[in-house]
Every structure is written in structure tokens, then in C-alpha cells.
């Protein structure tokens, strides 16, 4: 129902007008809510990708904060935007508010850069929407104007115009409290989503008004405009000029029929020979019945052959068999008309091109094979399948192909996703084709893919955090090794003390660096303990030193008993002999190794403890994994080509995709560069599901790219279905091979 500010105008309208306006408001709210939600989801995904590609943690945190604001404020954003559109319906026919003569003139000021970019993005939304919906928007402006008894509605006065929708978005933006650059990204995301929605929305509103008898014979043209009036929007087209004997007719910009163009190319490739039916051509009803029977038959058959892609010849044979099923032997046969035969040929070739583009194994081909006959049924009944880029069946086919490519590997599509998509494709096999069916299937597939994307993002984030942790540990361990190496120059330890410092105490120093930093008191305290163990500083309280060493060794994962044995063997306790009490720890360790007369065999010797230390698992190492080298060998210099590739790799954003080629089998695998360290060059590669598949240095990656074992994948400029259609056109343009 209208709000209080518009109730007076709404109540003055007749009952029929009130009913129509209420119905149109509900129709627009249902469609626009879905588009706004898709735009918010697109921005959420875009912010995640932007955070993954960013080099600094501040920018990453800014993106994640905006994602949180987006999720908390999405309900308020939807409410504000839809309320603006609903209020616009109640204000239809009202003239613009007169300017206040007593009002003070507004001062001019410079427009902020962020506000300018946001205004430019909104204007882009308006201009793109008006260009793509011109005639339908013109008809809508006249029909709504007649409905409320007003002049043609234009601009913000038309509730569903792109300009008013942009105003609704601008009104709702403040509730999200996003940074200015993310507001611009949201407007741009909504522009892409609205581009696919405005045309069917205007068609639905015009059809609703037309069904109620509002201007059934309307042909909208632009009228004469006064000189001081603003220019007409692109939605109003001027009438064609009247041709006279002295004027040259202007070329007609009629759309080229895609299907007829493909049929012409097909006829040229055949050498001009057209298909001649061997009998009476099938009527649309007969063809629809035969396709339905073939589709039901294939849905009931579960063998592997039923899921394979069919050639054009096989499709013709199966279709003709169902067309002539049940006829007597001498009866006239029903054949395909030239257009029907060409449609079979084109659909079969289109699926062949899609299969070549995928190259993902049998799983993807099986899904395409199950969808081939339903798509053929759509193409036979609706020429818009080839003509309209936004056709629901085309969207479904393209989305399914993209999912098979993105979520597959060398062995085929992911089994879980294949099962989910298989259940959805089974619906297309069982049910008759319709726009509602394919729109529903498309929404279900996108929902499944959105869930997989969210799971992959969480998994990938965990892998990146783990890789960053390993990198920080590696840097801390290198710094600890440098600190110890500088001290070893002055005093070189041996035996158990050397094993302790190399295999355990370096982890103690590294852990202090990770937790507290190099300038912290905790790290300085561990350095003092190190100097006392090396004899560089005097030991005033051996018991306190021994307890501190035991505590720090237990913090890096050493068992309490083993830590006590090592510390006892190196430092001893309070009841030490006078000969070792004043000696350095290194000398005390040497003396402690001497056998004590009358002592029973009990604690392990220093040699045994040293062997245990050399075999112990280091901090951050996985059990059973390769041990990290104590020193990194010098890297060989890169060649000129490898150096150029290496410099480019260091500039690549996170999220870039690469294709790895197996030299043994020639199979390719797509991997995503999720993260790399600018310091060490260590990089992390994940698959589409966010799982870690490889870790390598950028120098190794540059060498592999120079050798041709790895290729960088550029972002595709067109989707998979468009590439398949372009490849189909190219194959039809090539001359046939003559024997």
C-alpha cells in the first residue's frame, strides 16, 4: 500500500488505476529485489577477490570490513531502494515542485573526487539502461501517463526508468556505510545486473497493461520539444523521415537474423545444395511430439551411450524413427523440413564445439549429452535461442559449461558437483521446455555454485594463512640462525650443546621472534640465556638457568622428561660438585659426560641425548615430511627470458590462474596463484576448491614457464558459449575439404 505522503494522490485515482498501480508495484518489487540481491552478492565476491589480490594487510582488512558492513546492511538497503520505487508509483502524474523564490541561491563548490566517480557510475547505469531499452521504455512512459492522466513520463518521473532506479540506489547507499570506492563498485555491479533485467521487466509491465486494454495499438514516437527543454532520453526514438523523390532512403538498421546467417553459411559449406526432404515435412506439432518422445526415452535409459554427445546424423536418425513410429510399412514417411534439418545440424555442431572448448574428460561430456536433446527441443520451438543472447536456455547451457570447466580437472568434473548438476539436468530431461523451467534450473545451478564458491573461499583463506605462518616461521628461523652463527664465531660449541642450539634452541629463539618481535624483552631474555649456555656471560644461579631452559624447551613441543634430562646434563642442579659449579656450561657438559664411580646406570648419556635432538621434529615441520635444510644453498642466476618472466610474476596480483602441463601425459591442470612472499618468493597454488596443490618458488615457476611446462591464463573476454558459437561460425566459413 502507498505511504502517507502519497495516499492523497493514490486515493484520487479510480479503482481500476489503483488496482493496476498496486499490481505493477508488486511486479517491480519482486523482480528488482532479486536483482539488488544479486548485485550485493556480486560485490561481496568482488571484495573477497580484491582482498586476495591485495599486497597489504590494511587493504585486505578494508575489504573484509566492507563485506561485514554489506551483510549487516543488506536488508536495510533493499528496504530503502524498494521504498523509493514504490513511492515513485504513488507520485506519478505530479508536476515538478516549483522553485522557492524566497530561497537563497546555493553557493558553488568543487565536487569531491569520490562523489564525482559515484555520480559518473550512476550516469553510466542510466545511459546504458536507456540505450538498451529504448522502444519498450517509450511505450511504458505513454501507457503509465495515460493511466494517471498525465503527459508522457520521463526521467525520474517514470518509476521504473533507469534514472529513477539509479536515484533509488543512491538513496539506499548511505545505510551500508561503505567506503566511497566500494560504493562505486556496488553501483557498477548493479549496472551489470540491471542490464539483463530491465528489458524483460519492461516487457512484463507493458504486457500487463496491454492485457488490461491500456493503449493496445500504441506506437511511441518523440514529439516536438521546446528549445529550452532538456534533450530527449535515448529511450524516445524519432519517427523515420518521409521519403520523397529527391531524398535518398536511409539504410535500415534491422537486426541480422543469426539463425538465417548460420543456415546460409551451412548451405555454402555444402556447396549450395539444400536439404531435400524425402517425404512430407513434419508439422510443428509432429516435431514437438517426436522430440518429446525422444527426450522421455533418453531420460529412462541409463546406459553410457545415452549420455554421449550425438552427432547430427545420429540425431536425425533417432528423430525420424520417432516421427515414423507406428506407421505401416507402405505408408508415406515423414521427414524434416530444410529449416528443421539445419537446426539439428547447428545444435549438434554447437555441442561439439562446447566439448572441444571444455576438454575436461567424460564427466563434462556426459552432462552436455544429457542436455543436448532438451536444448534441441528448445531451438526447434523457439528461434530466439539463436537470436537472443539472454535466452534462459542459452544461459543455462553456458552456465553448465562454465561450471564443468571451472570445477573440473584432468579427470573430469568434481563428483559431488556432477551429482548435483546431474539432478538438475534430469529435470530438463523429464519436463517439457519452458522459460520458467530453464530460469528455475539456472537459479538452482547458480545457488549450488555460490555455495561451492563460499566453501572454496574459506578453504583457500585457511591455506593462505597457513602458508603465511610457515613463511613467518621460516623468516624467524633464518634470523635465529644468523644470531647463533654470529655467536658461534667467538665460541664454537660441540657435542650435546651444539645439537641443542642447532636443533632446539634455534626454535626457541624463532618462537620468541614470532610472538614478541626482535626488539622485545622476551627475545632479549632468551639471548641472555643463549650467552650463558655458550659461556659468554657468567651463570649466577645454575638452578634458575636450568629451569628456564626446561620451560622454553617444553614451549616448542619437547616432552618434560626429555627437556629435564637435557637441561640436567648440560647445566646440572644445585648440588653440583665444586669443580663444575664455577665452570662454564660447555665445560660442565664435558665433565658431566665422565662416568661417576659407583653411579648406577640411569639417565641417558650426552651422546644419546644429542642423537635424540638431531632426530626430533622441528617446530612447524610435518611428521613424515621432508626436513628443512639448515642452510639455503645459493640460487643459480636466471637467464634473460627467465629473469623477464620472474619480474612479471612479482607484479602479478593474487588470484591469477596458470595452466600446468604434465610432460609425461600432456594433460593440463588449472591452478590458482593464491599467495606468494615478496621476500622469499615462495608461492602457494590452490585448485578451484581452494585446496593446496603445489608450493614452489617464483624462480622455479619462471623456469617452468620458460620451458613451456606452465602457461599463464589470461581472463577470458567472452564466456564459453560465445566462444563455441564463434568457433561454430568459423568452422562454417571454412570451405569443405574436397577428396
**Residues 32, 121 within the same domain:** yes
* pLDDT attached to residue 462: 92
Distance CA 154, CA 20 (A): 20
Beta strand pairing call for 656-661 and 682-686: unpaired
Residue 480 lies in a domain: no
Residue 132 lies in a domain: yes
| Domain range enclosing 717 | 640-733
**Boundary (domain end) residue, out of 172, 192, 211:** 211
DSSP state of 104: P
Domain boundary among 433, 461, 477: 433
Say whether both 354 and 494 belong to one domain: no
- Give the domain-ending residue among 615, 650, 680: 615
Neighbours of 293 (CB within 10 A): 16
> Residue 547's pLDDT is what?
92
Could you tell me if 124 and 202 lie in one domain?
yes
Spell out, as residue ranges, where the chain has pLDDT lower than 50.
1, 4-6, 97-104, 109-110, 221-256, 362, 573-600, 624-627, 629-630, 737-739
Does some domain include residue 31?
yes
Residues 40 and 146 in one domain: yes
Same domain, 179 and 303: no
> What's the confidence (pLDDT) of residue 12?
73
Instruction: Report yes or no on 450 lying in a domain.
Output: no
Cβ-in-10-Å burial (0-12, 13-18, 19+) of 468 comes to middle
Assess whether 389 and 519 both reside in one domain. no
User: Please, are residues 73 and 173 in contact by the beta-carbon 8 Å criterion?
Assistant: no
501 occurs within a structural domain: yes
Same domain (yes/no): 610, 657? no
Looking at the structure, tell me whether residues 494 and 427 fall in a common domain.
Answer: no
How far does CA 191 lie from the centroid of its chain? 18
Do the domain assignments include residue 14?
yes
Asked if residue 23 belongs to a domain, the reply is yes
Q: Are 16 and 163 within one domain?
A: yes
Domain count, the chain: 4
pTM of the entire predicted model:
0.58
Residues 571 and 666 in one domain: no
Return all residues near 76 (Cβ < 8 A) that are at least 6 apart.
172, 175, 176
Q: Are residues 644 and 721 in the same domain?
A: yes
Residues 722 and 669 in one domain: yes
Q: Is residue 183 part of a domain?
A: yes
Q: Which one, of 721, 625, 76, 726, lies nearest residue 396 by Cα? A: 721
Amino acid at each position: 500500500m502507498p505511504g502517507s505522503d502519497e495516499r492523497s494522490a493514490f486515493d484520487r485515482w479510480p479503482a481500476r488505476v489503483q488496482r493496476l498501480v498496486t499490481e505493477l508495484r508488486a511486479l517491480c518489487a519482486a523482480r528488482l529485489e532479486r536483482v539488488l540481491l544479486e548485485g550485493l552478492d556480486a560485490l561481496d565476491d568482488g571484495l573477497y577477490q580484491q582482498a586476495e589480490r591485495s599486497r597489504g594487510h590494511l587493504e585486505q582488512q578494508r575489504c573484509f570490513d566492507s563485506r561485514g558492513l554489506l551483510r549487516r546492511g543488506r536488508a536495510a538497503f533493499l528496504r530503502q531502494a524498494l521504498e523509493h520505487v514504490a513511492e515513485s508509483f504513488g507520485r506519478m502524474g505530479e508536476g515538478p515542485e516549483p522553485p522557492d523564490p524566497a530561497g537563497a541561491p546555493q553557493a558553488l563548490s568543487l565536487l569531491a573526487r569520490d562523489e564525482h566517480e559515484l555520480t559518473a557510475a550512476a550516469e553510466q547505469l542510466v545511459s546504458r539502461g536507456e540505450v538498451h531499452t529504448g522502444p519498450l521504455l517509450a511505450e511504458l512512459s505513454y501507457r503509465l501517463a495515460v493511466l494517471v492522466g498525465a503527459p508522457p513520463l520521463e526521467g525520474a518521473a517514470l518509476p521504473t526508468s533507469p534514472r529513477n532506479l539509479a536515484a533509488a540506489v543512491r538513496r539506499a547507499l548511505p545505510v551500508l556505510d561503505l567506503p566511497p570506492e566500494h560504493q562505486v563498485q556496488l553501483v557498477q555491479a548493479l549496472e551489470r545486473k540491471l542490464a539483463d533485467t530491465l528489458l524483460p521487466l519492461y516487457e512484463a509491465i507493458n504486457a500487463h497493461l496491454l492485457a488490461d486494454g491500456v493503449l493496445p495499438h500504441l506506437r511511441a514516437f518523440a514529439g516536438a520539444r521546446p528549445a529550452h527543454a532538456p534533450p530527449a532520453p535515448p529511450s524516445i526514438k524519432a519517427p523515420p523521415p518521409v521519403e520523397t523523390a529527391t531524398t535518398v532512403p536511409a539504410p535500415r538498421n534491422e537486426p541480422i537474423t543469426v539463425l538465417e546467417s548460420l543456415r546460409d553459411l551451412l548451405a555454402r559449406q555444402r556447396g549450395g545444395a539444400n536439404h531435400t526432404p524425402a517425404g512430407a515435412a513434419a508439422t510443428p506439432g509432429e516435431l514437438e511430439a517426436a522430440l518429446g518422445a525422444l527426450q522421455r526415452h533418453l531420460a529412462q535409459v541409463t546406459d553410457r551411450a545415452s549420455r554421449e554427445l550425438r552427432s547430427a546424423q545420429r540425431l536425425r536418425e533417432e528423430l525420424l524413427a520417432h516421427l515414423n513410429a507406428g506407421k505401416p510399412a507402405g505408408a508415406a514417411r515423414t521427414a524434416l523440413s530444410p529449416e528443421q534439418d539445419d537446426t539439428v545440424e547447428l545444435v549438434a555442431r554447437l555441442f561439439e564445439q562446447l566439448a572441444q572448448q571444455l576438454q575436461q574428460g567424460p564427466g563434462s561430456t556426459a552432462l552436455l549429452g544429457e542436455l543436448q536433446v532438451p536444448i534441441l527441443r528448445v531451438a526447434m520451438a523457439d528461434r530466439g535461442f539463436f537470436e537472443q543472447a539472454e535466452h534462459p536456455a542459452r544461459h543455462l547451457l553456458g552456465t553448465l559449461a562454465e561450471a564443468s570447466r571451472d570445477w573440473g580437472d584432468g579427470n573430469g568434473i568434481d563428483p559431488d558437483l556432477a551429482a548435483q548438476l546431474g539432478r538438475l539436468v534430469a529435470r530438463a530431461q523429464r519436463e517439457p521446455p519452458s522459460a520458467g523451467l530453464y530460469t528455475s534450473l539456472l537459479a538452482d545451478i547458480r545457488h549450488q555454485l555460490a555455495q561451492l564458491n563460499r566453501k572454496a573461499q574459506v578453504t583457500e583463506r585457511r591455506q593462505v594463512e597457513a602458508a603465511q605462518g610457515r613463511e613467518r616461521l621460516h623468516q624467524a628461523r633464518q634470523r635465529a640462525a644468523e644470531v647463533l652463527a654470529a655467536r658461534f664465531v667467538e665460541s664454537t660449541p660441540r657435542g650435546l650443546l651444539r645439537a641443542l642450539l642447532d636443533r632446539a634452541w634455534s626454535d626457541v629463539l624463532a618462537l620468541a621472534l614470532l610472538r614478541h618481535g626482535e626488539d622485545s624483552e622476551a627475545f632479549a631474555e632468551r639471548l641472555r640465556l643463549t650467552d650463558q649456555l655458550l659461556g659468554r656471560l657468567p651463570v649466577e644461579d645454575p638452578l634458575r638457568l636450568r629451569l628456564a631452559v626446561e620451560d622454553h624447551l617444553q614451549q616448542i613441543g619437547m616432552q618434560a622428561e626429555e627437556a629435564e634430562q637435557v637441561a640436567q646434563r648440560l647445566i646440572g642442579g644445585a648440588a653440583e660438585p665444586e669443580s663444575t659449579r664455577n665452570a662454564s656450561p660447555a665445560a660442565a657438559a664435558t665433565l658431566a659426560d665422565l662416568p661417576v664411580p659407583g653411579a648406577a646406570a640411569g639417565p641417558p648419556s650426552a651422546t644419546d641425548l644429542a642423537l635424540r635432538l638431531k632426530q626430533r621434529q622441528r617446530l612447524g615441520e610435518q611428521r613424515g615430511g621432508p626436513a628443512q635444510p639448515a642452510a639455503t644453498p645459493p640460487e643459480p642466476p636466471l637467464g634473460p627470458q627467465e629473469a623477464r618472466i620472474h619480474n612479471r610474476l612479482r607484479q602479478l596480483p593474487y588470484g591469477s590462474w596458470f595452466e600446468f602441463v604434465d610432460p609425461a601425459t600432456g594433460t593440463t591442470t588449472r591452478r590458482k596463484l593464491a599467495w606468494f612472499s615478496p621476500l622469499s618468493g615462495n608461492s602457494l597454488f590452490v585448485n578451484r576448491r581452494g585446496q593446496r596443490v603445489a608450493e614452489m618458488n617464483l624462480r622455479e615457476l619462471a623456469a617452468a614457464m620458460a620451458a613451456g611446462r606452465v602457461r599463464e591464463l589470461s581472463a577470458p573476454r567472452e564466456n564459453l558459449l560465445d566462444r563455441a558459437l564463434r568457433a561454430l561460425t568459423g568452422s562454417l566459413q571454412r570451405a569443405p575439404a574436397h577428396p
